[in-house]
């Protein structure tokens, strides 16, 4: 096992200076939920950050929530590439020679990892995970091939969950439409 700091670089977010005509885009904590379910987040436009630690999101980066009951994490999708992260997020840039980004995202999302994070959070209202606690996370590192297989398996389960949710939504719409038609037919017959 290696600490996260040995296999990835972790960066804190920046204060967002929101402006309608801003040339930069910013990802907020609430945007992680959209990414996790496959939706495109509505990034906030703003002024380009003037601090050196502000890095634009790249392919393979992980975005990790710094606040909240759970520590949400997701892989960067095309819709957020080039955006910056807000103060309530961490940007984790894996060393892809050591760890597969999908594997790392899967490991961070595991219930056992979430328990570790819960014990490290500070604050009472909206608890914050300290950057140091994230960087000290012990990550098991199987071979790169095994990491890729685990990442692909996790992606398959996520895809299936998304499809099942969409199927349930469509089934609900179909059921309501069938009931509405049945009510119309019954009403027409009784008129």
Classify domain 2-141 by CATH number: 3.90.220.20
**What mean pLDDT value characterizes the chain?**
91
Mean pLDDT across 57-70? 92
Q: For the CA atoms of 21, 47, 85, 25, what is the dihedral angle to 10 degrees?
A: 20
Mean pLDDT across 93-111? 96
Residue 16's pLDDT band (cuts 50, 70, 90): confident
Furthest-apart CA atoms within the chain: distance in Å: 76
CA atoms of 78 and 59, how far apart (whole Å): 7
Residue 42's pLDDT band (cuts 50, 70, 90): confident
Point out the least confidently predicted range of 38-42, 127-131, 141-145, 175-179.
Answer: 38-42
Question: What pLDDT is attached to residue 167?
Answer: 92
- What's the whole-model pTM score? 0.83
Residue 178's pLDDT band (cuts 50, 70, 90): very high
Residue 104 clears pLDDT 90, i.e. is over it: yes
Residue 49 clears pLDDT 90, i.e. is over it: no
Residue 88 clears pLDDT 80, i.e. is over it: yes
Question: What pLDDT is attached to residue 180?
Answer: 93
- Name the strands in the sheet holding 44-46, side by side, starting at the edge strand that comes first in the sequence: 44-46, 24-27, 84-85
């Amino acid at each position: 096992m290696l600490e996260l700091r040995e296999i990835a670089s972790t960066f804190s977010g920046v204060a967002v200076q929101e402006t309608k005509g801003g040339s930069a885009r910013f990802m907020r904590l609430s945007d992680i939920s959209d990414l996790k379910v496959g939706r495109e987040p509505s990034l906030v436009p703003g002024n380009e950050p003037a601090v050196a630690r502000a890095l634009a999101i790249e392919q393979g980066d992980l975005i990790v929530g710094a606040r909240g009951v759970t520590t949400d994490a997701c892989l960067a999708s095309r819709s957020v590439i080039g955006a910056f992260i807000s103060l309530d997020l961490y940007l984790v840039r894996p060393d892809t020679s050591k760890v597969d980004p999908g594997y790392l995202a899967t490991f961070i999302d595991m219930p056992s990892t979430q328990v570790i994070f819960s014990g490290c959070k500070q604050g009472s209202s909206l608890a914050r995970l300290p950057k140091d606690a994230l960087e000290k996370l012990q990550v098991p590192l199987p071979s790169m091939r095994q990491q890729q297989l685990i990442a692909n398996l996790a992606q398959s389960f996520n895809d299936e969950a998304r499809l099942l949710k969409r199927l349930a939504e469509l089934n609900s719409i179909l059921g309501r439409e069938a009931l509405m038609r049945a009510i119309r037919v019954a009403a027409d017959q009784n008129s």
